[in-house]
Structure 1
Amino acid sequence: MMRRRTTLLTGCTALALAFGATACGGGGPVSAGGGDQALSGQTVSVAGVWSGAEQKNFQKVLDAFTEKTGAKTQFVSTGDNVSTVVGSKIEGGNAPDVVMVPQVGVLQQFAAQGWLQPLSPAVRKSVTANYAPVWKNYGSVKGTLYGLYFKAAHKSTVWYSPDALDQAGVKPPKTYDDLLEAGHAVSDSGLAAFSVAGQDGWTLTDWFENVYLSQAGPEKYDALAAHELKWTDQSVVDALTTLGRLFKDKQLLAGGQKGALNTDFPGSVEKVFGPKPQAGMVYEGDFVAGVAKDQFGRKIGEDANFFPFPPVGGGTAPVVSGGDAAVVLKDGENAKAGMALLEYLATPQAAAVWAEAGGFLSPNKKLDPATYGDDVTRTTAESLIAAGDSVRFDMSDQAPAAFGGTKGAGEWKVLQDFLRDPSDPKATAAQLETAAAKAYKG
């Protein structure tokens, strides 16, 4: 593959000039101070799924990197199908330097293709010092660290209208049974209990994962995520049965099952926090707050709040997370400057830029919680950090994309069919196993 010749300073020399002497292998974590423009003239191309407000906020991080190093950046939004877009760019000789990968399965795929550079000693040292080991594990393939988790999501949060719960006379529930009971109280007071985004299959996988992690436990969760446990296992049938108690109760779903299947994620938030509320609660990750605030003007902590996804069947409360890992492609024209970007992203100073802007959680333990702009986000972030190694990464994001990340196929479609008709959890488990076996074999 022909590549443009560059004048980039090589290896440690460039990083040391850009960030200070501690940027190299024997030193400490990268310093965000300094900024002597040592990478002036270089351009780092970055690909990721973000668009809209997320892209604008990430651009602020990239701009801070430019200010400190002189390296310009160019961000390209890939849409949801990161692996296809990046693969096409590599084949076309136009590989980005850095990719923000939203799925563990895609990171593993990229590593298996030989596309990724192992992360530098400085990044590895920062990750070891500043992150719970679970984030290092999810960023590694066969013991080699390829991915730096910059942005995290807390997917064990149920968001609610305080007015709706007050009107129903209920408080945030402490168990899954209490959650359904509270839902009936909300329904009796005039609103549906839950707005479910069934049109987006990924939200249904998140529902399942929280129930399964709490009910079956982390060991089985890990085994199922790796497909070392079949989806026909009784623990899967039990979790589907538990979830089906909600899905089959038309009193609990805004618009019933048909309405849920015609509601996408933004629409599900609108049904709770929009100008004409139809439901009292919506389950999804911490990013619900951004939609409620930015699109509907809700004040987080006042007229939009959350409670932790409650424990199921005597289990512990689940903490399911997701996240975007920065990786450096071998075929990028400025891969060395790309690694310098990752050394910056590993610092709490880089995380602080987006944390101050909002709509962001960092897995970096060294980020001062006071940086977050509101108490609810701060509490969510602190919960994620406190969970440590009990955090489990989104299971569908760990799976091959054909099973866990493709619209109209695999787990997304099977769970949509289950929402439509939750009467036979055992048959649904069998369908999930058929789809998983095909995808993992491929």
Structure 2
Amino acid sequence: MHSTSSKNRTHRAARAAAAVVAGALALSLTACGGDDKDGGKEDGGSGKESASTVTLPKLDGETLEVAAVWTGTEQANFKKVLAEFEKRTGATVKFVPAQDPIINFLGSKVAGGQPPDIAMLPQPGAIKQAVDKKWAKPLGAEALKELQENYSQGWQDIGKVDGKQYGVYYKAANKSLIWYNAKAFENAGAAEPKTWDELLTTAQTVYDSGVTPFSVGGADGWTLTDWFENIYLSQAGPEKYDQLAKHEIKWTDPSVKDALTALAQVWGKKDYVAGGAKGALQTDFPTSVTQTFTGGDQPKAAMVYEGDFAQVNITQAKADVGTDAKVFPFPTVGDTAPVVSGGDAAVILEDSKAAQALATFLASPDAATIQAKLGGYLSPNKSVDNAAYPNEVQRRMAKALIDAGDDFRFDMSDQAPQAFGGTPGKGEWKALQDFLKNPSDVAGTQQKLEADAAAAYGN
């Protein structure tokens, strides 16, 4: 599914906007000198608490279930948001751990007559499927009011199906970042690259210093789709990106060949990926991050690609964001640097006063501010005080996200039917895992991607 704004923007305008956003992001990230120590204040640096802005009903005795695939720190931090809702309303909220793909998990719950009240869906495609299956319920007037006050039109639109609002994008992600071990770069004399060719030069410089350039979490297929999407958006441009996302052009298109060929310059280069292809395919996303920031000045890899949420895992590696761990925007492969976003939307499955109240709370700056202070999180809610974020790197990322307004492209695989873009061992995830194993097979990978896409999209 596409936002209305994405449909209506012209190719030239989208390119220009992407260039502006990418430039601002590059400037903001490279300007970050280190972790801002005043972020230890309760509000992340401003010295004042954000005022409560949303009115919630009393819900004493009400019980709600919220399902999400979040684990570890991410889950623990979200539970603190739910605890505040409980405190304000008197309701009891239970977090239900879900498995990927969440649509399958929800299907079993619905079939058993026990759907959660709200599900946090990580794909617009999943929202559409929930609506098509008549599981999802539209948002009420209070939630809509919060959305309209606090979100850009683009973030509202990607939560809509057939013009009706079903999703509240509570969590956003900047998925166009590469994190690096500052000490490994310093020892190698490596510089932050701005273009794809410079990235390859930087990788060789790091390799020559005795450190493997890249860590890749290939056990999780979604990390591989994110690699592809950044290259494709920058190289092929926003218009083709939108067409491929809707399967209006085939995966056998020459533009896909070009992107896979570029990707093979990293994945196919001997000893450029920690553990080789076999090791990468056994490495999950959290490990791909932590192994980049442990081992002193001899980490398993110097760089790891992924979004702002990698900060949670960097912290688990006991590295400081902004000093030990630094970041640069995903390099320009074509005309402009890519700006790829992702996110998780709250969708009501069991309509009730309590469920609508929780959706309203999650659309408010009150909820997002709580999790913003805890780190490893970005909100598309433009009413969240930027000072709530705990360090300068994250504040600048949040500002770049809000300043982008509607000028972003949502994660392509998340827009696809779940069977193609969001299922372990199937579709795009599996095809790119196979490509990581054999990056010379560009044509075969394209054929497999097209066959799976045609089956999933029904065209």
**Is the TM-score greater than 0.5?**
yes
2:80 and 2:344 map into 1 onto residues whose CA distance is 17
Note if 1:280 corresponds to 2:297: no
Contact 1:48 1:77 in 2 (8 A): yes
2:352 and 2:242 map into 1 onto residues whose CA distance is 33
Provide Cα deviations, 1:387-414, integer angstroms capped at 9, x if missing partner.
2222211111111121111112111111
1:104 and 1:310 map into 2 onto residues whose CA distance is 26
2:286 and 2:422 map into 1 onto residues whose CA distance is 19
* Matched ranges for 1:193-342 at <5 A: 193-275=213-295, 277-293=299-315, 295-313=316-334, 315-329=335-349, 332=350, 335-342=352-359
Corresponding residue number in structure 2 for 1:349? 366
Note if 1:399 corresponds to 2:396: no
- SS of 1:76's equivalent in the other structure is strand
Moved more, 179-188 or 267-276: 267-276
Greater Rg by CA: 1
Give the counterpart of 2:109 among 89, 92, 103. Answer: 89
Structure 1: which 5+ runs fail to align? 1-29
Aligned-pair distance for 1:120? Answer: 1.6
Give the counterpart of 2:160 among 119, 137, 140. Answer: 140
Contact 1:155 1:286 in 2 (8 A): yes
Give the counterpart of 1:161 among 181, 191, 195. Answer: 181
2:345 and 2:55 map into 1 onto residues whose CA distance is 26
1:351 and 1:412 map into 2 onto residues whose CA distance is 30
Aligned partner letter, 2:195: T
Note if 1:189 corresponds to 2:189: no
1:259 and 1:352 map into 2 onto residues whose CA distance is 38
Aligned-pair distance for 1:151? Answer: 0.8
Aligned partner letter, 1:207: W
TM-score (norm 2): 0.85
TM-score (norm 1): 0.89
Provide Cα deviations, 1:289-310, integer angstroms capped at 9, x if missing partner.
11010x2111111101111111
2:305 and 2:202 map into 1 onto residues whose CA distance is 14
Contact 1:195 1:260 in 2 (8 A): yes
Contact 2:106 2:115 in 1 (8 A): yes
1:184 and 1:262 map into 2 onto residues whose CA distance is 24
Note if 1:375 corresponds to 2:392: yes
Contact 1:174 1:311 in 2 (8 A): yes
Aligned-pair distance for 1:33? Answer: 5.7
Note if 1:431 corresponds to 2:448: yes
Contact 1:270 1:277 in 2 (8 A): no
Note if 1:360 corresponds to 2:381: no
Provide Cα deviations, 1:189-247, integer angstroms capped at 9, x if missing partner.
11011111122211110000000111111111111111111111111111111111111
2:394 and 2:133 map into 1 onto residues whose CA distance is 37
Structure 2: which 5+ runs fail to align? 1-50
1:179 and 1:117 map into 2 onto residues whose CA distance is 46
Aligned partner letter, 1:257: A
Note if 1:51 corresponds to 2:68: no
1:350 and 1:402 map into 2 onto residues whose CA distance is 32
- SS of 1:318's equivalent in the other structure is coil
Give the counterpart of 2:404 among 361, 381, 387. Answer: 387
